[in-house]
Amino acid sequence: EEHTDEPAASDGTDAPARPKNKGVGKRINELTKDKHDAIRERDYWREQAMRQQAEPQQIDPSAQVDKPSDGRPMREDYDFDEDRYLEAFADWHLLKRERAVEQAKAKEQERVRAVKFEEQAAEFAAEHPDFYERLQAPDLRVTEQMKAVVLETDNPPAVAYHLATHPDEAAAIAQMTPIAAARAIGRIEASLSVPTRPAEIPSPPKTVTSAPAVASSVSARSPVVKPAAAMSVEDHIEKLRVRSSR
């Protein structure tokens, strides 16, 4: 009869040791190394930047340097003098803000003029039904400079209508310099501002008559002289009395 050898039962006192997980430890070491490498790289580039500020680079004068299109100052323009550069940058930034404010104001003024023109144009078109049609004529030549000057006049629709109804004159003004064009439009405005004089009604012609002229009335103070034949006795006595009193 065969007997099979069976391993002796463990008493539980000698448990087998678990194998160590070498993969986790390796991964921790890699992450630690990457962290230190990143810190070293960061410190390196920080040191390089500080060194560039402390020690200006030697720039080849013949080298072409692309400057910002917005006029932003560059350190090269001030020989890498940080104080001068920062002062210039502050001035540039302030000027940029002022220009932005001026542009915003100009746009707002342009918007107000456009709204005012539309209101005036609506009133003008009520009396001139062909107003908008004239302004949209394809043969009308009006430059942007001319439009800006027209909007500055006291009565923009009237000036615009004049140009639209006189396309040859408008084309000639479009060829002028801005100053000459402004003067020409000013003359148009002045001519439109002159009030129209009403036609004078001619007075009727005087009638010539052959009747003798009417004698002028005798003043009450003038003495009435009668002929001697028509004088009464009382008249003669009065005449003598007047003579004796002189």
pLDDT per residue as tens digits for the range 67-117 = 667 788 888 888 888 888 888 888 888 888 899 999 999 999 888 888 988
Q: For residue 50, what pLDDT is reported? A: 60
Q: For residue 78, what pLDDT is reported? A: 85
The answer to whether residue 221 scores a pLDDT higher than 70 is no
The answer to whether residue 21 scores a pLDDT higher than 60 is no
142 closest CA partner among 166, 115, 163: 163
Mean pLDDT across the chain, nearest whole number? 76
71 conformational bin, left if phi > 0, alpha if psi -120 to 50, beta if neither: left
Q: For residue 9, what pLDDT is reported? A: 47
Q: How many CB atoms lie within 10 A of CB 173?
A: 23
The answer to whether residue 226 scores a pLDDT higher than 90 is no
Both tokens assigned to 189: 């405005």
The answer to whether residue 218 scores a pLDDT higher than 70 is no
Q: What is the pTM of this model?
A: 0.44
